[in-house]
Amino acid sequence: MNQRDCSPAGFVAGVIIGGAIGAALGLLYAPQSGEESRKMIKKKAIETKKDVLEAKEKAIKRAGQMQDDMKEGVEDFKKRATRAKKELEKKADA
């Protein structure tokens, strides 16, 4: 699986599409009255909205974690580069 397949936007889109397909199939195959179907649609819409909001929060949290990891990596790289530069300067001066 590549990085694109695991993106938060892809996940959210999958949740939305899956919810819509599930609701549509439920309507097509359920022997219910119109009122019962409307109640079911409303319930599924609320559940899907909840799932999307949860996915959004997870994506935001994960993005923050990734940002922190990147900052740490950049700082580590800067420190190693500075040390390497100083060592090269010492060798050049010797």
Alpha carbon distances (Å) from 63 to 7, 14, 48, 67, 72? 10, 18, 22, 6, 14
Q: How confident is the model at residue 1 (pLDDT cuts 50, 70, 90)?
A: very low
- The per-residue pLDDT for range 9-33, each reduced to its tens digit, is 777 778 888 878 887 777 777 777 7
List, for residues 47-92, the tens digit of each pLDDT value: 888 888 888 888 888 889 999 999 999 999 999 999 999 999 888 8
Specify the higher pLDDT residue, 1 or 66. Answer: 66
- Domain spans of the chain, in order of start: 3-93
5 pLDDT band (50/70/90 cuts)?
Answer: low
